[in-house]
Amino acid sequence: MTDRVLIKDLPALADGPVSVSGWVETVRDQKKVQFVVLRDESGAVQLVNPRNSDDQGVVIADQPATTISALTQGSFVSVTGRLKHDERVKLGGIEVKLETLTVASTAIAETPIAVDSGIDKRMDWRFLDLRVPRNALIFRIQTTLEHAFRTYWIDNDYIEIHTPKLMGSPSESNAELFKLDYFDTTAYLAQSPQFFKQMAQAAGFGKVFDIGPVFRADPSFTSRHATEFTGVDTEISWIDSHEDVMHMQEELLAAGIAAVKEKHGEQIKALFDIDVVVPTVPFPRIPLLEAKRIVAERGHIVDRNDDDMDPEGERQIAAYVEETYGHEFVFLTDYPTSIRPFYHMRSDEDPTITKSYDLIFRGTEITTGAQREHRVDVLEAQAIEKGLDPEELAYYFDFFRYGMPPHGGFGMGLARVLMLLLHQGNLREVTYLFRGPTRLTP
């Protein structure tokens, strides 16, 4: 039996016998010849089956003609035949003349979604939605992006860790927590690997990264929020300030996007009509108060009682940076202590300001990063100031009681990066199986 060949590899083969497998995309059942467009995970090819006829020209109902006539869209089949290069064939300049066709499984004739189905309907039938080449490409891009991140970190001597997602106490606050029964006690789904990344610094690991699930009990229905998402997290020791973390992140993103452009740039242009832009390093940096002033001059006033930058402000500062620097990224720095976690280090010059930043990509925040407070007495005082119970954080403070180097890091949402990189309007489009306040299936 001829070994199965991926459709993308057919053009490089000489004319001759081949075996391909995939699902049926279309069938044209004509009087004298049948055409089937077969798609697999790598591409599509046209199958051709000339019908047999008797001496009087009457078509003979034989195999595989009768099987092809009964094929439904989406059925999975395996075929053998002869590959032929023919520049007249619109689909790739090749076709396969059928010899045998075996149906592995037959699809129901009526498909539940269409090209113009709404996003909620498509999410109900996500496995069918992902057969669309454009949607499938997203997850090849995701694979390349993650691999490039890992390559950057491993080449720079980082250690990969896998932090637990079941926690015995809240990781940062009691807000946005999923609680669950855990034998005779209560457990929480991790909002962040933050504490465990910091534990690795106390363990002397130096530089670590973690790519894994994050859970937020946030009842938001926006296009950029999810209750479960993949977090890309890192933490490094012996930094002088959050500037060291920012420098590492901009190098990481530049490496990741460069890898995506190199491997998928042409496909992204063809299917998304987007030219992938590899960002130059360093990224622009703007203190938060200055950013708010710039945004105000553009006609948008951030609520004076809001210490953060609002979504419209993020869009406006991104537009300013694009116009001024020709850049899709901008670091906003010097966030106030009022909106930052207790473990962010505060400025020596102004204790109302933290040594932290947000990274904005094409108008949306994708990262919060900071230098962490490593002095346990200061850390405990800041936790109490934030209204946290030191007893609930006792295990965390223990990390610092036996020595801790100066350190910092960031957390970044993988799906947000993909959403913005591919100019998509909704996180659901770039999430394999989305989880939100009203979606737990499929």
Q: How confident is the model at residue 338 (pLDDT cuts 50, 70, 90)?
A: very high
Q: How far apart are the first and last CA of the chain?
A: 37
Residue listed under structure tokens 């910091």:
198
pLDDT in tens, 224-278: 999 999 999 999 999 999 999 999 999 999 999 999 999 999 999 999 999 999 9
Whole-number Å distance between alpha carbons of 234 and 247: 13
Among the listed residues 141, 142, 160, 137, the one whose alpha carbon sits nearest the alpha carbon of residue 150? 160
Q: Do 90 and 158 share a structural domain? A: no
Q: Residues 236, 252: contact at Cβ < 8 Å?
A: no
Among the listed residues 436, 440, 441, the one whose alpha carbon sits nearest the alpha carbon of residue 217? 436
Q: Do 409 and 284 share a structural domain? A: yes
Whole-number Å distance between alpha carbons of 263 and 267: 9
pLDDT in tens, 393-408: 999 999 999 999 999 9
416 annotated ligand binder: yes
Q: Do 88 and 222 share a structural domain? A: no
Q: Residues 99, 80: contact at Cβ < 8 Å?
A: yes
* Helices marked H in 273-375: 288-297, 311-325
Whole-number Å distance between alpha carbons of 18 and 96: 8
> String of b and e for 184-202 (b: at least 16 CB within 10 Å)?
eeebbbbbbbbbbbbbbbb
The pLDDT, as a whole number, for residue 306 is 83
151 annotated ligand binder: no
The pLDDT, as a whole number, for residue 48 is 97
Whole-number Å distance between alpha carbons of 307 and 315: 17
Q: Is 82 inside any structural domain?
A: yes
Q: How far is CA 101 from CA 25, 278, 286, 369, in A?
A: 15, 45, 62, 56
Residue 31 has pLDDT above 90, yes or no: no
365 annotated ligand binder: yes
The pLDDT, as a whole number, for residue 351 is 95
Q: Residues 382, 374: contact at Cβ < 8 Å?
A: no
Q: Which residue, 43, 74, 105, sits at the end of a domain? A: 105
The pLDDT, as a whole number, for residue 56 is 58
340 annotated ligand binder: no
pLDDT in tens, 120-137: 999 999 999 999 999 999
pLDDT in tens, 109-121: 999 999 899 999 9
Residue listed under structure tokens 């591409």:
43
Whole-number Å distance between alpha carbons of 57 and 72: 27
217 annotated ligand binder: no
Q: Residues 439, 123: contact at Cβ < 8 Å?
A: yes
**φ and ψ at residue 30, rounded to 5 degrees:** -95, 170
Q: Do 164 and 64 share a structural domain? A: no
Task: Report the percentage of the chain scoring pLDDT > 90.
Answer: 90
CATH number, domain with residue 53: 2.40.50.140
Q: Is 23 inside any structural domain?
A: yes
pLDDT in tens, 189-214: 999 999 999 999 999 999 999 999 99
Q: Do 153 and 70 share a structural domain? A: no
Tokens at 7, concatenated: 């459709």
Query: What total number of domains does the chain contain?
Result: 2
Q: Do 421 and 292 share a structural domain? A: yes
172 annotated ligand binder: yes
Q: Which residue, 49, 70, 105, sits at the end of a domain? A: 105
CATH number, domain with residue 146: 3.30.930.10
**CA 305, 311, 314: angle at the middle one, nearest 5?**
100
SS3 234: strand
Task: Over range 280-306, report the average pLDDT.
Answer: 94
372 annotated ligand binder: yes
Among the listed residues 380, 382, 381, 371, the one whose alpha carbon sits nearest the alpha carbon of residue 399? 380
The dihedral through the CA atoms of 190, 194, 197, 198 has a sign that is negative
Q: Do 180 and 31 share a structural domain? A: no
Residue 1 has pLDDT above 60, yes or no: no
Whole-number Å distance between alpha carbons of 339 and 341: 7
Q: Do 95 and 155 share a structural domain? A: no
Residue 2 has pLDDT above 80, yes or no: no
- Bridge partners of 105? 76
Q: Is 436 inside any structural domain?
A: no
Q: Is 120 inside any structural domain?
A: no
Tokens at 239, concatenated: 């930094």
CA 151 to the chain's CA centroid: 17
131 annotated ligand binder: no
337 annotated ligand binder: no
Q: Which domain holds residue 326?
A: 126-430
* Helices marked H in 181-241: 194-202
pLDDT in tens, 41-98: 999 999 999 987 665 555 566 779 999 999 999 999 999 999 999 999 999 999 999 9
Sheet containing strand 207-215, strands side by side: 159-160, 207-215, 228-237, 407-413, 364-371, 356-361, 329-333, 285-287
Q: Do 161 and 250 share a structural domain? A: yes
Q: How confident is the model at residue 301 (pLDDT cuts 50, 70, 90)?
A: very high
pLDDT in tens, 90-106: 999 999 999 999 999 99
Task: Over range 319-339, report the average pLDDT.
Answer: 97
Task: Over range 324-335, report the average pLDDT.
Answer: 98
Q: Mapped to the 3 state alphabet, what secondary structure does 395-406 carry?
A: HHHHHHHCCCCC
Whole-number average pLDDT of the chain: 95
H or E stretch at 419: helix 414-421
SS3 93: coil
Q: Is 12 inside any structural domain?
A: yes
Cis peptide leading into residue 287 (ω within 30°): no
The pLDDT, as a whole number, for residue 58 is 59
pLDDT in tens, 153-175: 999 999 999 999 999 877 666 67
The pLDDT, as a whole number, for residue 115 is 87
Q: Is 294 inside any structural domain?
A: yes
Q: Is 111 inside any structural domain?
A: no
Q: Is 1 inside any structural domain?
A: no
Whole-number Å distance between alpha carbons of 59 and 50: 10
Amino acid at 18: V
Cis peptide leading into residue 442 (ω within 30°): yes
Among the listed residues 145, 138, 356, 144, the one whose alpha carbon sits nearest the alpha carbon of residue 253? 145
Pairing of strands 228-237, 407-413: antiparallel
Number of residues that make up the chain: 442
The pLDDT, as a whole number, for residue 369 is 98
Q: Do 159 and 67 share a structural domain? A: no
Residues 6+ apart with CB under 8 A from 298: 316, 319, 320
Q: Do 314 and 166 share a structural domain? A: yes
